[in-house]
């Protein structure tokens, strides 16, 4: 049975903490005696059991307010009566025992409040009306970076820099959600005044360390910025980029992609590659998870594209594909253009080289035939490098002249040009000739001698007749060429030189390599730039020029006034095979000039083996073995001589017959 009765609070300051503690204390006493639990309610609150003082304090019951006391049980009425009397009393403490009990209760309840503050994650600072800190919880101390005990009892402005609690105290106006640095932490603070009976009695600051939040915010900003930057890059690259989701849906394309495929974004975005291009590379990669590089395809409008398609893997699983597409129609066009251009450029370069005046250093090398112009162009080019040159050509074709030309056309022209005839020096001496020797290196080495390599330092060494070098020496030469250094014979110190090498031979080196008489490694080392000098018989058109050159040069040398050569004699020169090439031509002209006494070289001055060879050769053109009537031969010989010489006079000289005989026979055979 519930019994309830109202009571009016008459205590001057209402139900404050001590009063509440006394009420709790009374309720406990009553329970002891009557075994019924006391309940309380006000006009604003529901009914609750009187146990702790905080809920009672929280009701803020003031003087004159009515409360309802209730209890259940047999003795409820008595119990309620006792409590009502107590509530309407003046709450004076009568005995020290009562006082202790109340204090105990207050203490226990105050302890609970402190526990709450200590457990708060938020910082809490409370000041009184004099701005003295009365509460500073551990969270506050930690955030500010101080010790709690250093704060309590101090002026708030001495403990918390930039505090505004004193201002709140003064103005009575709260400040909500203000951000501020406290120690090293970024905090967000609520400051509220403590207003009691319309008067500001202090202020409370509750604040939270939001540094972690702040960091997350920055990270978020960074991610956003990165995303924007990436977006910008993707939008501005020339390559088309298409991103497809795990399910095949096109989720991103950049403007270049749309341009390449000639579509608008709404025609592409949201389509599914499994539907629009089931055989395509994107589908393959979605299925296999393996990148496809350089996959070519032709679009409907004829554009050629090449795509690199890569899977997007997240935690080891395919979460989509990204395809990077290039329009190679342009590239292909450019490639074609490029190849025509480079072919053209190459041709023009060749032409330029041919027409370009060959270096003056080659002036002594006479010739204007196509093959010679090509050769000199090559030689001029070779002169600009320091690569080894291997000059090939029959005896007397001018290998040494060309070697000299290369040296003087090169940047080493001011350095020495040293010639070594590898064929003329006995192989026993060649090593010391090339590399030098120390005094006493061998019998006869009475003093130190510098080798040709050392002499040629900063210049060119010309290894003539390289094909004649024996294999022993080839090894030593190869070592010197590879290491650009060598030892003098009988010497210990290694000599380093800077020498450009030109070698020459009239031997078929390849054949010698095959027969193992010439080392292949040496051959490859020498044969960097091969130059082939054509034999004179293959550039007959140069014979007049050469003849004129030699007549001038050699008649001066002989102190004679030879003016030239007759066309018949020149004809003989042009028909002759010149096994000794230019050297032979030079020698014959020199001999003729020395012996003759005329203004012009004519057929009769020429040695008979030249003239004879021509006639005989033409006679040999009769079918071998067939024997013809004498007159047939005679007719053929006269006819050949006339064709070659162009006049009875010259023909008669060539045939060593009289003018009259030749004329008569020509008439007889109907050759006029
Ligand atoms: N194109 C040329 N113009 C002028 N003179 C030349 C020409 N070719 C060769 N000679 C002359 O012919 C002679 C032989 O030339 P060189 O010694 O250079 O020939 P080579 O090829 O080295 O012959 P070998 O293999 O016999 O040594 C030299 O007197 C040289 O001046
Ligand atoms: Mg030579």
pLDDT at 355 over 70: no
> What CA–CA distance (Å, rounded) separates 373 from 512?
30
Confidence of residue 39 (pLDDT cuts 50, 70, 90): very high
User: Does the pLDDT value for residue 179 go beyond 80?
Assistant: yes
Cα 588 to middle of ligand 1, angstroms: 14
**Which pLDDT does position 318 carry in this prediction?**
93
Indicate the range of 134-148, 366-380, 584-598, 656-670 predicted with least confidence. Answer: 656-670
- DSSP letter at 179 equals E
Torsion sign across C-alpha atoms 655, 661, 665, 671: positive
Two structure tokens written together for 125: 């600072």
Nearest CA to ligand 1 atom 12: 583
- Per-residue model confidence as pLDDT tens digits over 450-461: 889 999 999 999
- Residue pair 154/161 in contact (Cβ under 8 Å)? The answer is no
First to last CA, the chain: 171
Say what percent of the chain tops pLDDT 90: 54
Residue 520, token pair as written in the block? 């292949």
**Contact yes or no for 392/533 (Cβ under 8 A):** yes
Q: How many angstroms does the Cα of residue 402 sit away from the middle of ligand 1?
A: 9
Q: What is the mean pLDDT of residues 415-425?
A: 91
Structural contact between residues 14 and 62, judged by C-beta atoms closer than 8 angstroms: yes
Q: Which two tokens stand for residue 227?
A: 């995303």
Q: State the pLDDT at residue 503.
A: 97
Give the pLDDT score at 334: 84
Does residue 419 line the site of ligand 1, with CB under 6 A?
no
Can you say how many angstroms the Cα of residue 232 is from the centroid of all Cα atoms in its chain? 23
Predicted confidence at residue 356, as pLDDT, reads 58
**C-beta 507 within 6 A of ligand 1:** no
Distance CA 587, CA 597 (A): 17
pLDDT above 60 for 618: no
**3-state SS string over 385-447?**
CCCCEEEEECCCCCHHHHHHHHHHHCCCCCCCEEEEECCCCCHHHHHHHHHEECCCCCCCCCC
Cβ atoms within 10 Å of 91's Cβ, excluding its own: 22
Taking residues 259-284, what's their average pLDDT? Answer: 92
Question: In this structure, which ligand is nearest to the CA of 533?
Answer: 1
CA 253 to chain centre: 27
Give the mean pLDDT of 381-407: 94
Give the pLDDT of residue 613. 58
Between residues 88 and 327, which one has the greater pLDDT? 88
Average pLDDT along the chain: 88
30 burial via Cβ count (<10 Å: 0-12, 13-18, 19+):
buried
pLDDT of residue 628 exceeding 70, the answer is: no
Query: What pTM was computed for the model?
Result: 0.47
Q: Strand 500-505 to strand 460-464: parallel, antiparallel, or no bridges (unpaired)? A: parallel
Residue 188 CA neighbour count, 13 Å, CB half:
7
504: left (phi over 0), alpha (psi -120 to 50) or beta: beta
Burial 610-646 (b: 16+ CB within 10 A, else e): bbeebbeebeeeeeeeeeeeeeeeebbbbbbbbebbe
Helix (H, G, I), strand (E, B) or coil at 40: strand
**Is 280 touching ligand 1 by the criterion CB < 6 Å?**
no
pLDDT digits (tens, 9 = 90+) for 505-552: 999 999 999 999 999 999 999 999 999 999 999 999 999 999 999 999
- State the Cα–Cα distance between residues 426 and 551, nearest whole angstrom: 37
- Rounded to the nearest angstrom, the distance between the alpha carbon of 397 and the centre of ligand 1 is 5
SS (HEC) of 510-572? HHHHHCCCCCHHHHHHHCCEEEEECCHHHHHHHHHHHHHHHHHHHHHHHCCCCCEECHHHHHH
* Res. 502: pLDDT tops 60: yes
pLDDT class of 67 with cuts at 50, 70, 90: very high
Query: What's the mean pLDDT in 77-84?
Result: 94
The pLDDT of residue 669: 81
On whether the CB atoms of residues 308 and 324 are closer than 8 A, the answer is yes
Look-up: residue for tokens 């040496």? 522
Tokens matching residue 391: 């000059």
Mean pLDDT over residues 476-490, rounded? 88
Q: 588 CA to middle of ligand 2, Å?
A: 18
Q: How far is the CA of 611 from the centre of ligand 1 (A)?
A: 23
Confidence at residue 626, expressed as pLDDT on a 0 to 100 scale: 55
- Please give the average per-residue pLDDT across 322-332, as a whole number: 86
| pLDDT mean over 64-81 | 93
Residues 241 and 258: their CA atoms lie apart, in Å, by 9
**Cβ of 402 below 6 Å from ligand 1:** no
Parallel/antiparallel/unpaired status of strands 240-245 and 317-327:
antiparallel
**Among all ligands shown, which has an atom nearest to the Cα of 585?**
1
- pLDDT, position 624: 52
- Residue 393 C-beta-side C-alpha neighbours within 13 Å: 29
Per-residue pLDDT at 249 exceeds 80: yes
CA angle, corner 548, sides to 369 and 367, nearest 5? 20
d(CA 352, CA 60): 111
Give the pLDDT score at 241: 94
User: What does 556-622 look like in DSSP terms, one character per residue?
Assistant: HHHT----EE-HHHHHHHHHS--TTHHHHHHHHHHHHHHH--SSEE-GGGS-HHHHHHHHHHHHTTS
Cα of 464 vs centre of ligand 1, distance in Å, is 12
Cβ neighbours of residue 601 closer than 8 Å, sequence gap 6 or more: 551, 562, 564, 565, 566, 569, 589, 592, 593
Q: Is 291 helix (H, G, I), strand (E, B) or coil?
A: coil
φ/ψ (deg, to 5) at 418: -110, 125
- Looking at residue 71, its pLDDT comes to 95
The finding on whether 505 has its CB within 6 A of some atom of ligand 1 is no
Closest CA to 34 of 69, 68, 81: 81
From 366, 389, 534, 583, mutation site for ligand 1 pocket: most ligand atoms within 8 A of C-beta: 583
pLDDT digits (tens, 9 = 90+) for 95-140: 888 888 888 888 777 666 778 888 888 999 999 999 999 999 999 9
Ligand 2: centre distance to CA 465 (Å): 7
What is the model's pLDDT at position 657? 85
- Separation in Å, CA 506 to CA 237, 277, 480, 509: 61, 69, 23, 8
Give pLDDT, residue 341: 86
441, pLDDT greater than 80: no
Cβ of residue 367 lying under 6 Å from some atom of ligand 1: yes
CA pair distance 305, 320, nearest whole angstrom = 21
Is it the case that residue 493 has pLDDT exceeding 90? Answer: no
């Amino acid at each position: 049975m519930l019994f309830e009765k109202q009571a009016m609070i008459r205590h001057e300051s209402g139900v404050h903490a001590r009063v509440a503690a006394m009420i709790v204390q009374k309720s406990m006493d009553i329970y002891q005696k009557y075994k019924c639990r006391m309940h309380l309610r006000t006009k604003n609150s529901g009914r609750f059991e009187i146990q702790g003082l905080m809920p009672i304090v929280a009701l803020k019951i003031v003087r004159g307010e009515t409360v309802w006391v209730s209890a259940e049980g047999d003795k409820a009425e008595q119990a309620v009566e006792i409590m009502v009397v107590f509530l309407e009393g003046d709450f004076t403490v009568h005995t020290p025992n009562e006082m202790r009990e109340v204090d105990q209760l207050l203490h226990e309840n105050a302890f609970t409040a402190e526990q709450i503050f200590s457990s708060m994650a938020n910082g809490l600072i409370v000041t009184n009306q004099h701005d003295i800190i009365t509460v500073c919880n551990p969270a506050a101390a930690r955030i500010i970076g101080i010790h709690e005990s250093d704060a309590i009892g101090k002026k708030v402005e001495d403990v918390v820099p930039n505090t505004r609690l004193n201002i709140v105290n003064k103005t009575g106006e709260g400040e909500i959600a203000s951000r501020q640095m406290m120690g090293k932490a970024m905090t967000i603070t609520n400051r509220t005044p403590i207003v009691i009976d319309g008067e500001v009695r202090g202020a409370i600051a509750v604040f939270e360390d939001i540094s972690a939040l702040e960091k997350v915010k920055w990270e978020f900003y960074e991610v956003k910025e990165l995303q924007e930057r990436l977006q910008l890059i993707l939008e501005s690259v020339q390559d088309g980029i298409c991103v497809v989701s795990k399910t095949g849906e096109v989720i991103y394309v950049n403007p270049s992609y749309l341009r390449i495929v000639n579509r608008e974004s709404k025609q592409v975005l949201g389509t599914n590659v499994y539907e629009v291009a089931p055989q395509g590379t994107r589908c393959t990669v979605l299925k296999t998870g393996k990148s496809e590089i350089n996959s070519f395809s032709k679009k409907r409008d004829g554009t050629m594209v090449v795509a690199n398609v890569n899977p997007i893997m997240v935690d080891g699983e395919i979460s989509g594909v990204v395809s990077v597409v290039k329009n190679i129609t342009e590239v292909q066009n450019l490639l074609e253009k490029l190849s025509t251009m480079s072919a053209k450029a190459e041709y023009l370069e060749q032409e330029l080289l041919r027409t370009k005046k060959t270096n003056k250093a080659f002036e002594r090398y006479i010739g204007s035939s196509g093959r010679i112009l090509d050769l000199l162009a090559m030689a001029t080019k070779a002169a600009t490098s320091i690569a080894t040159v291997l000059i090939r050509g029959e005896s007397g074709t001018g290998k040494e002249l060309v070697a000299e030309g290369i040296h003087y056309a090169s940047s080493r022209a001011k350095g020495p040009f040293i010639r070594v005839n590898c064929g003329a020096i006995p192989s026993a001496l060649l090593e010391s000739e090339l590399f030098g020797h120390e005094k006493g290196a061998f019998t006869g080495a009475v003093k130190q001698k510098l080798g040709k390599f050392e002499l040629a330092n900063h210049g060119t060494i010309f290894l003539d007749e390289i094909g004649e070098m024996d294999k022993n020496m080839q090894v030593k030469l190869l070592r010197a060429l590879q290491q650009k250094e060598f030892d003098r014979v009988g010497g210990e110190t290694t000599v380093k030189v800077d020498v450009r090498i030109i070698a020459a031979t009239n031997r078929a080196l390849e054949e010698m390599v095959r027969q193992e008489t010439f080392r292949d490694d040496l051959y490859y080392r020498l044969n960097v730039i091969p130059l082939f000098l054509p034999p004179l018989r293959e550039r007959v058109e140069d014979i007049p020029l050469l003849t004129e050159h030699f007549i001038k040069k050699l008649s001066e040398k002989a102190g004679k006034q030879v003016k030239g050569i007759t066309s018949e004699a020149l004809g003989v020169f042009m028909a002759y095979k010149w096994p000794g090439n230019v050297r032979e031509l030079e020698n014959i002209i020199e001999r003729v000039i020395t012996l003759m006494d005329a203004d012009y070289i004519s057929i009769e001055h020429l040695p008979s083996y030249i003239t004879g060879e021509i006639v005989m050769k033409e006679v040999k053109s009769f079918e071998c073995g067939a024997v013809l009537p004498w007159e047939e031969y005679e007719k053929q010989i006269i006819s050949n001589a006339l064709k070659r010489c162009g006049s009875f006079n010259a023909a008669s000289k060539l045939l060593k017959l009289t003018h009259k005989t030749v004329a008569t026979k020509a008439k007889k055979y109907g050759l006029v």
